Amino acid sequence: MYVANLFINGQPVERTQSDRFEVVNPATGAALGDAPNAGLSEVQAALAAAQAGFDVWRRKSPWERSTVLRRIAVLLRERMTPIARLLTLEVGKPLTESVAEVSAAAEYFDWYADEARRVFGSVIGGRVVGARMEVSHEPVGVVLALTAWNFPIILASRKLSMALAAGCSVILRPAEEAPACIAALVQCCDDAGLPPGTINLLFGSPEAVVEPLMASSIVRKVSFTGSTRVGQLLIGQSAATVKRLTMELGGHAPFIVLDDANLDQAAGFAVAAKLRNAGQVCTAPSRFFVHEAVAKPFIEKMVAVMRAIKVGDGLHEGVQMGPLATTRQRDRTERLVEDARSKGATVSWGGGRPDQANGGFFFDPTVLSDLPSNAAILTEEPFAPIAAIVSVASTEEAIERANALEFGLAAYLFTRSIDSIDLVTAELQAGAIGVNTTAVAVPEAPFGGVKQSGYGREGGEGGLGEYLNPKFVHRMRA
């Protein structure tokens, strides 16, 4: 049975049959079911509940909050199989990737269960005898968490784990493509013992849900993962009430392969990272800058790996890449490939729909080479299983081209040279860099971008600081 309800003040909330949206399985194009849209009354109820929940949750001790977060991690692991299956049905990624996503989400709750107990204050020596200066940290207040559809469980869990650890309450508004798996996550949070109102879940359009939440002075903090364009709109909407913001925005990550790289290693990592979730990943490598001395063998190795990739329904055994999440994503992918082809690019592999799409939103793993500089895919983030490969003559040219865009979320470098590692990592304009690896987002490290890829960080020991207000008290004797 497919169930995806709103959740307000500790209770699931239904809506009328006339005010619902359909959810589609991208592997088949068939409807999975539907979910309710929130209206103004639900938004107002969620705001009131979140404020009341905050007043209770903020007064819990750090050890009490830690215990609840640990329980959430336990419940996620216990319910991993059904949640992962919902995730695959709604987003399309292979079941193995969905299981890994739920597992990683549990790790965030575990990490911040520990960090909740490590919010330390400090005492500064006074300037005169009898003076005492103290710094403490207080939760910022009600948090609005806005998440994208590509990694619904882990993106929500990052924000929830940090906000809850800090003592904040949360109104979670995810993208509409994956409501049931998010509802299952919220149920884990409630079952773990959160006070009513501490977590609230709303679905609905930006106009009906997000705009009134952004206008409300009850919401003191917004954490958003999504496109740069939407992030810019939210930044503008936040100004009237001076909300604190964490913005994880667009990517279009460069992947640099120097002439001394281990090409088998580089090609293997490149394909795995490029085809994860069918390329619909903000940190996915999408601009491949390969030294001209090794460009041809690198392309051949990438194509060889891609040839062996099994594409299909993510619930089927052995599938390594599922469909794109929506017809909109597939149409955009086809447009970018056709644009590159029309401008003289070579389609080294893929470039179209599989023969056996069976109504799903599938697109073949694709390698583009001989790309002209005016190809749209070199400036427009593809969010698709397309590797755009450009030959470069030097390390300096690779750095220059990697930094040429206003994106700066993630970047990758493959080389054996320590000197090259030092040079490139110092010069790349990105918030996270993988050297001979593509693992750049883990709970114990800060994650976020620079330039128009956003600001603020999620994860790491500093993640809680995004949800805390320092308070300074200077005490003197009367």
Give the bridge partners for 22, in sequence order.
Answer: 34
Angle (CA) 177 36 171, round 5°: 75
Alpha-carbon span 55 to 259, nearest angstrom: 58
Positions annotated as catalytic residues are 248, 282
